[in-house]
Amino acid sequence: MLTDQEKEEILRLIHREVVPAIGCTEPMAVALCVARATELLGERPQYIRLRLSANILKNAMGVGIPGTGGMIGLPIAVALGAIGGKSCLGLEVLRDCTDDDLAAAKQYMAGDHISIELEKEDPDKLFIHCVVTADDGRHEEATIKGSHTNFQTLPPPSLAGREQNVLPHEPGNVTTPSLQGRAGGGSESSLSLAKVYDFATTMPLDELRFILEAKRLNEAAAADGLRENYGHRLGKTMCSPLGRGIMGDSIFAKVLSETSCACDARMAGAKIPVMSNSGSGNQGICATMPVVVFARENHNTEEELIRALTLSHLTAIYIKQSLGTLSALCGCVVASTGSSCGITYLMGGNYEQIAYSVKNMIANLTGMICDGAKPSCALKLTTGVGTAVMSAMLAIQHRHVTSAEGIIEDDVDRSIHNLTSIGSRGMDETDRFVLDIMTHKQ
C-alpha cells in the first residue's frame, strides 16, 4: 500500500514527465538551448557553436522541424531557436515562430554562422552545450544535460573563477532533473510495477483527470495525420481501401492506424503539440493512443480510461528511470509496454495479468534498436503497438512467457531491469555502430 507521501511524489513525477511538446524533442531541446543562450546574449548571435552527444545527433538528423514546410535536421532548428525561439515555452520553444522568422532563419543558416560538433568527453547521453557570440566578441552559453529541459551552466573561460549557477527557473520553463540522476534515491526511484498499479487504480479520480489532456492532444495529432499527407502515410494507408481490405475494420486495425497517424504527423514536422512521456513525443503517443482507441471501441467508462492511461504512462516512466532518457533501445519498446498494461486493464485484467503482459512484451521486443528520429518511426510504433495488443490478449487468458525462456524472470521487476540493462549498457556498442553508419552513408 502506498503512503500519502509516495502518492504525492508519484503524482508530481507524472506531471513533470507527461508534458506537451511540439516536434521531435531532440531538435527541440537543441533549439531550446540556443534560444536560452541567445536570450542571455540579448541579440541575434553572429556565431552559434554547439557540442552535442551522439544520441542527440542521432535523433535530430532526419526528423521534420515544425513550421518549416518540411525541412529536416538541426541547422534550421538551431537558426529558428536563435531568431524566434522562446525558452519560456520549454519543448514548445518554436511555437510562436512566424513566416518572417522562418525566412530569416533560412538566410541565417545559409551563412557561416552555425557550428555543430560531437561531444566526446561528457558521458551523458543527453548533452547539449551552446555558445553564442555577438559581433563585438561577447558570448553567452547554456547547457542542457540529463533531460530535455534540464538547464545547467558552465562558466566560459573568461569567467572561470565565477561560481557556477543553475539558470533561473522561469514561468513555463520546466527544469526537470535527469531521470538517470533520480535513480539514486527517494520514493520516485523506488517505483515497482505493483506501486504503479496501486497508484493508477486507487488514486482519487479527480487527481488523475489531467491525463485526459494526453487523449485530447494526441487524438488531435492523429486526426491531423489522417487529414494530411505526412511522412510515409502509414496511418492513412491502413485506413485506405487497400489497408482495410487486408486488415479489416477491427479494433486492432484502428489501434494501429490511429497511433501511426499521430506519429506520421509528428515525425514529418507538423506544428501541432502532442503529449510527451519522459521527454519523447513518440513515447507519449504510444502510451496514449492504443489505450484511447481500445477504450472507445470496447466501450469502457471514463474512469476506466483515466486509470488505464495513468497505468500506461506511469509504467513507461518507471521503465525509463532505469533505462535513461536516451538509449540504444527504441522508445516504442518502453511506451508500448505501458500501453499493453493499459489495454490489459481495460480488458478487465488484474495486477497478475498486467505483469504477464509486461513479460510478454519484454520477451518479444527487447533489442529493437533506435536509429534516430525520422518518419519511419511510425513503422516501429506500429510494431510495438501490435505486440502490445497481442501481449494483452495472451495475458488476459493467463498465458505468459516464463522464467525458463530468455531474459524473463519470475519477478516482473527483475524482468524489466533485465530489459533496461540491455538497453542502457549492453547495447552501447550497438549505439555507436548505428551512429557511425548513419554519419557515413554513401
Q: Domain spans of the chain?
A: 24-159, 179-439
pTM of the model: 0.87
Please state which CATH class domain 24-159 belongs to. Answer: alpha beta
Q: Are 291 and 339 in contact (CB under 8 A)?
A: yes
What's the Cα-to-Cα distance from 437 to each of 252, 254, 338, 440, rounded to whole Å?
35, 35, 31, 5
Distance (Å, whole) CA 242 – CA 132 = 51
pLDDT tens string 333-378? 999 999 999 999 999 999 999 999 999 999 999 999 999 889 999 9
Same fold, 24-159 and 179-439: no
Per residue in 278-335, pLDDT tens?
989 999 999 999 999 999 999 999 999 999 999 999 999 999 999 988 888 999 999 9
Residue 407 has pLDDT above 80, yes or no: yes
Select from 195, 282, 295 the least CA-distant residue to 251: 295
pLDDT tens digits, 77-136: 999 999 999 999 998 999 999 999 999 999 999 888 999 999 989 989 999 999 999 999
SS3 61: coil
**pLDDT-derived band of residue 166, with 50, 70 and 90 as boundaries?**
very low
Secondary structure (3-state) at 396: helix
Q: Of residues 200 and 158, which shows the higher confidence score?
A: 200
pLDDT of 162 over the 50 cut: no
- pLDDT given for residue 179 in this prediction: 36
For the chain, the distance separating the N- and C-terminal CA atoms, rounded to the nearest angstrom, is 57
Amino acid identity for residue 309 in this structure: L
Grid cell listed for 283: 513515447
Q: According to the model, what pLDDT value does residue 153 have?
A: 59
CATH architecture of the domain formed by 179-439:
Orthogonal Bundle (1.10)
